[in-house]
Every structure is written in C-alpha cells, then in structure tokens.
Chains A and B, each alone.
Chain A
Amino acid sequence: MIDTYRLRSPLAHLGLDARARAEADISGTGVIISERPQAGLINIRGDVSDARFVTAIEKSIKLSPPTVPNTVVGKPSTTRLMWLAPDEWMVITRPSGAERALKALQKNLKIADLHSSVTDTTEARTCIRVSGPRAREVISKGCSIDLHPSAFGPGQCAQTVVSRVGVMLAQTANSKTHQPTYELYPLRSFATYLWNWLEDASAEYGVKVE
C-alpha cells in the first residue's frame, strides 16, 4: 500500500473537502456534486461464452459478467461489474477492495488458462457523483443519451460523452430521496474540465459540493 499522504485525487486541487464542509446544508439545492476518488477499477477482457472465464470471475468477485449491454450488476456498497462491450467489463470496487479483487482475478484467470486480460485502471479515472432534483437536466446539457428513468434507470450504464469528455456513466438509486444519482467516471486528466463544466451547468439550479 502506498502511504495515503502521497495520494492526491485528480480534483484535490479544487479544495472540495473544505467546500463540502462549508456547504453542509444541501436542502433546497438543485444539484449536489462530489468527487469519489479511488474506487477500484479493473478492466477485464474475455470470452463470456467460455464457462471457465465466467467461473473464474465469479470465484474472484462473486459476480457474473452481465451480458445485457449497458447494465451493471452488484451493489455500490461492495463490488459492481459493469458491461462495457461484448468482451469487456469493468469491476468497480470500494477503495479498500481494489487490490484484493485484482489479485484474485489475475490468479483465477491465470489458472483458467484462457485468453483473457485483467488490467488495473484504478488510477486512470476518478468518479464524479451528481445527484439532486436537477441532476438529470444538468447532465443532459452535455450528454445526448436518453436519461429519462424509463430509458436509463438504476443498474444501467453507458460509455458516452458528457460535455466533450468521454465517461463511463452509471446510475444508482438514492434509497432516501428516490432521485437518481449519476456516477461519471472520466479519465483523470479530464476531471477538472468536466467538474468545472458541471458546476457551471448546475449554477442556475443551485449547486453544492458534498
């Protein structure tokens, strides 16, 4: 493990923690945004029709790779598996779970002895979470896919573009508010641009940092 003092998230320079403390009362706010860095992101490639591949993954993270395009399985509180392409998935773990999942996947897929790849991309992206009653409108300003609940609900994901930045986009349900929460995973170099755009796009609805 790297000493945590050495780790700096892509948006750390914006002082978001301090803002979150200052903007603690989020009632009546249209949009709430936050950075959720350091989720484990492990890219898997392989042939899902090969039972050995599926078994190795199940054995590693207790989830089977979804075959329905643009869907996510698993719970945000533990580990999720996101469909990216017919032969590509992303394992999303909590920050503390990345290393264990990576090792397990590497080990089990090696044992399975088949053509596959496991690549750690944890550091390549950060997660920006957008919630609040106007979250959908804000993202729709820069994203052309249909985010209406009937078309893009909890458990669905997409690789798309939000304001000129490629993202993996997932929706999770907020059990308290029943309003959608969107997770945007941009490559880390784009995170500042995307964050600034999101704040700008949210300004008219009232925006706070969580």
Chain B
Amino acid sequence: MADQAPLTLLCLFLPFLAALLAPAAVRRFGHGGSWALAAAPFLSFLHFLTFLPQISAGEVVTGGYAWVPSLNLSFSWFLDGLSLTFALLITGIGTLIVLYSGGYMKGHPQQGRFICFILLFMGAMLGLVVSDSFLMLFVYWELTSITSFLLIGFDHEREAARRSALQALVVTGLGGLSLLAGLIFLWNMTGVTQLSLLVHVDDTLRQSPFYLAALLLLLGGAFTKSAQFPFHFWLPNAMEAPTPVSAYLHSATMVKAGVYLLMRLSPVMGGTAAWEILLPFFGGVTLIAGTLLAIRQTDLKLMLAYTTMASLGLLVMLTGFGAPHAVEAAVLYLVAHSLFKGALFMVAGLVDHEAGTRDLTKLGGLRRLMPITFAAALLAALSMGGLPLFIGFLAKEEIYYALAHGDLRSIVFTLVAIVGNGLMFVAGFAVALKPFLGPHVETPKHAHEGPVLMWLGPAVLAGLGLLGGILSAVTHHFISTPMASAVAGEPTLVEISTIPHLGMPLLLSVVTVAFGVIVYLQLERARDMMIRVLAAIGSGPDRGFDHVVSGLVRFSVAATRIVQPGRLEIYITVTFILLALTLLVPPFVYGEWPAMPTWPDEVLFHEWAIFLLALIGLGALLRANDRLTAIVSLGIQGFAVAVIFLLFGAADLSFTQFMVETLSVVILALVMTRLRLSPRDHRPPRQFGFDAVISVACGLGFTLLLMKATQLPFNMQLTEFFNAYSKVIAHGANVVNVIIVDFRGTDTLGEIGVVMITGLAVLALIRVRLRNPLPGPRADAPVEGDRL
C-alpha cells in the first residue's frame, strides 16, 4: 500500500485548518458557508473509510513523525478497530453537525466563531482517539476540555452559561491532571510511552504493586470526562451550550473519551478484581441515577442529557463487567448510542428552533407540521428503545447475553440494566413522541419544517441506525468485530443478528419494553414522584461544587493575606531574619565555627586609616539624626570597603564597588525625596532594638561565613584554568572580564536581561505612584506604614 502517512497527517489537521477559515467563510457566504466548511471533516471521513478493509482484516495501521527523538517523543497515530470507529464517528457526525450549525445558528452574529470552535473541538477529539504516544493523548485530552469550555460558554453574556463552562472545565481539568499522573505511572511501570506498545505488555501492569494507584488515577480521568457519578453534575449543566454542541460534544463524542480510555486500557488493565468491582459499580449507579433524573425533566434537552449520562454509565458498566459478550455489547451500544442520541439531540434543537420552546408540556401535535423531523425522531427513538430491526436492538440483545447468568452479581446487574434500559426507553419516546402526537398546542413560534441543513443530520443518523441493524453482517464485519477485538485484546467475533430468536435475552428485552411502556403511560405520576424524592434528598453534588469553589476562594484570600500582607517592612524583616538563620544555624548545628584569626604582626599605617574610615562611617550612621545623613554615612563605610578591595588586588571588584556605592547613595537619596518620607526615624525603641538584633545577626553571620571560607582548603582548579587559558583562547588579559563576556557569556546575557527587567519594574512602580499620588493622610505617614 502506498505511504499514506502524509495524507493521514493532513486529515488529522484538516479540522484545524477549516477552523481557521470558518470566520472568514461565514462572513463571506453567510450560513451557506457551512456547506464548504463541512467538506473538511467529510474529506477526513472519506480518508478514514479507506482504512476499513485493512482494519477489518485484523491489521493495525501506525504512522507518525519523530518529534523530539532524544526524549522518545513522537507525533504518531495508531489505528485499530477502536480508534478507527471513533474517528469515523467524529468526522462523520462532525460533518453533519457543521451543516446543522449552519442552519441552527443562521443569522447569529457570532456564527463564524461558533463553527470555528466546533471544528477546533473536532480536530482535538480526532487527535485524542488516534493518538499513539501518551503525551499526545494528554495534550488532545486537555484540548477537548478547553474547546468544550469555549463552546459551553459560547453564550457568554448569560451567567448560567459562564458558570457551567467553568464547572465543566474545572471538573474535566482536574480529571485531566489525574489522567496525566496515571499515564506517568503507566510509563514508569512499563517503560513504554506508546499505546501501540502498551498492548503488548502482558501481565506486568496487573501484577505491579502500583496497579491500584495507577488504576484509580486513570479512572479519575475517565470518570470525570464521561460524567460518571459522582462527577456527573457538569454534564446536564453543559446543556447551556447551543444544541449542536450538546449533540456533538455532550452525547456523541467528547463524553465518550473516558469510555474510550477505559476500552483502550481494558486489554492490559482489565480483568482484575478492582477493575470488575469499580467499573460496574460506578457505571451501574450512574445508569440508575441518570435515568431517574431523566424522567423527572420536562425540558427535551435535559431529558436527553440525563439519558446520555445513564448511557455512559451503562457503557462503563459493560466495559468493566468482564463476562463474555460484555465487550461486544459495549461496542455495539457505543455505536448505536452515538447514532440515536446525536439524532435525538438534533431533533430537540430543531423543535426548539422551529417552535420556540423545548418544554414537553408546551408542545404537541407537531407531526403534520414537521413530518421529516418526526420521522427521524421516531427512527432514533426506536433504536434507543432497542426494538427489532434497529442497531439499538443488537446492542440490547448483546447486553442481556452478557449479563444474564445465574450468579448473584449477574442477577443484580441484569436488574440494573432492565430498569435503566426501560427508563431510557421512556425518555427516548417522550422526546420523540410527546411533541409530535396529540392535539396541536399553540407554541411561541409558528412551527413548520426546518431547513434541509437542519433535518439532514438527524435523518441521516436515524437512517443509519436502521440500516446498521438490518445489514448487521456488514456492521459486524467492518465495525463491531474489529472494535471488539481491539477492546478485548484478542480476536473476537460479533455475530448477533437483528432477527429475534427465542431465548433468555429476548425475554429480557420483552420485559424491558413492557416495563418501559407501563412507565411511559404513567409518566406524569413518575415525574411527580421523582420530584418529591429529589426534594427529600436535598442538595446534590452540583451544590457541593459551589461550596468547594467558594471555600477555595476564601482559603486563598486568607492565605494571601498572611503571605502577602503588602507591607514592605514585613517583607524585609522576614527576609533578613531568614538570612540570619541560614547563616547562623548550620554552624551551630554542625559545630563548625571558624577558628579565631590571629592578630597580624604588623599593621601598616594606611591600613589603620582605612579601618578608621570605616568605623567613622559606622559611627556617623548610628548617630545620624535624619535619614539622608544615614544614607551618606553608609556610603563612607562602602568606600572604605572598596579601598580594602583595591589594596588586596581586586581592581575590578573595587572599581565596581565604588560605582555601586555612589549610585546607591544617589538613588536612595532620590527615593527618599520621591516617597516624601519623614526625614526622621520614628521607630519606637523596642522595634529599634529588634531591628538592631537582626542586622547584627546578619553581619555576624556573613563575617563568620567568610572567615570559615578562607580557612578551608581552596580549590584552585578553576583559577588555574582561567589563568592558563584566558589569554590563549579568549585573547584577554583581564581574567575577570574574560569570564564575564566570554567563558560565562550566557550567564551574563541572563543577568543583563534581569537588569533590564528590574529597570522596567522600577519604572512601572514609579509611574504608578506618579499617577496615583497617595491620598492626603497617608502621604505624611511615617515609613513604617508606607508601602512601596
């Protein structure tokens, strides 16, 4: 086969390219621009279709480019039955969603931006499922969270939308961190950084002592992304997003990323006790909670949102169940769910768009006005309800094959599945039938059939649900068998057909449907009951999220008040106390005090003079009445030190010291006048004493450090190197300067960068003061109360 790598790479980036063009295309062609933009995902879709024969023959396609070879990082992809099915769903449904967005957002001033975000998300999601390297997987995983944030908060002028967007980002972002930690665990445990290699790591992971930690971290990522209980609350809130987003991200694709991860890891991490307890338990709870919450809703979108949550629970439960056929069931249900739920969401959006409301109690009798929409809704609901001929039926039969066994665990989960499926049946038909049947109800807008852009999506998806069921052999050959083999980690044949045949699964299906029909007929009463039950329970995790967030904000405010009180005096005091401790504690602890130096035999006259000068500076500083005198006295002391440097042969050092002393005095004097400080020191005696102790401790510490340093044997290696080579290879006689500009030039470059940034920062501080002169009373306040 010809080398397809460049083409595949292009297809992975096509959605991003289209996203760049989207605003311009919509500005130029209006909502019709979506036809052109949909070409990008469609081309990707066609390209991925060409892989079908190869993948269904059991092959695996890998490809990619080295990125940072020294760190073993690559941009590489990995296509097997699992990732290919996901890629087809993402690009295929993505094409329809772009078209649908063209109709749904028609005339919206930000339509271009909206389609741009959708395409960005598509590129991220596509990258996620085909990623081979862990790092790529993580980066794309986070990208989907970010694009989801942008899309949920699209209507950013409403507070509810902003809150939901932030909530989704926080929950899935935390999950992302958990995933990253989990991936690092995997890497450390197995030594591989690629999913394609991970598959070959037999039992290493399961037997590792870190298995449970890695599993919990990875589940943290998967459960938040796939909205499993108790992290489910962000998903219904995400329905603040425009309907195309709900149909695409929050039912068909993004929320399945967590399920994808679990399926991907199932061959290497599945089958253990922890796996088969945690996954079915949380999945089962999510399934039941989701369906119960769904039937209490009257809003079409919210009903669908909760059933999506329930379906994700069902998928997680099946992935972790561990019995034969469970994986096949999960695979079939995943595909079926993407088709029917995507279609139903688009129907809900279409009804909302045309009738002006999506409240079940305010809708009715639309079947004559919107026949195509009604047909699509009906087909999708039949698939969702799991009735024969539809792909949903295949999935449900397979689920009961997997679950219906004699032991207690199987019986419990069979019951969970029956209740869950039955209630989802109710919700599905409530969405598909209630708005269309019965007497006509007057709606806010006069309803009529939507534009082709909008009904195309649901019609195609619902039609595929029927086609996939009837042509089950084709579905199995190309989709379910390769995908199930990838998830199971061994060749697995899916061969369930849509012709009902007698047996336990069919019986359970009949029970499910019967249960569903009964509840459907009693929907009003069931809803009232659920509302009462929920009122009795009180607040849920959604409220809890608010409490956690506001608690976090209060905590950080309190912590900042302690760490950053905003008073320069405190910062300086703390800094110097720590400095003194650093200098004095180690010699005290290790008993490494320097030996007292002996008094030199002969001290020359000029040396006495310099010491005297330094002492005069010190005395003048201590006796100074006002600050300006103190600063100048400090300068005298500094000059004396510079002269000492000069005497001992450090000409460069001395030179610099002179200049720095001069400039310090000038700048300090200027700062004093600028800050309008009171000329005198107003510190009370107690504080004066405290500050004196700190400064004496610092001075003592430095003296001891320097004495100790000179008493230790000195390593002359560097000195000798620089002396030997300064002239020879760097052409300079002044070793100090050669070190600065040549041997360690890159350090100097960094340092002058710091000098420049400091200059800018000081300038900014002074400017701030210029623009906001301190208010009256504070301007004359003593320095202790001042802030720089």
- Do these two chains really belong together in a complex? no
Contact surface of A with B, Cβ cutoff 8 Å: none
Contact surface of B with A, Cβ cutoff 8 Å: none
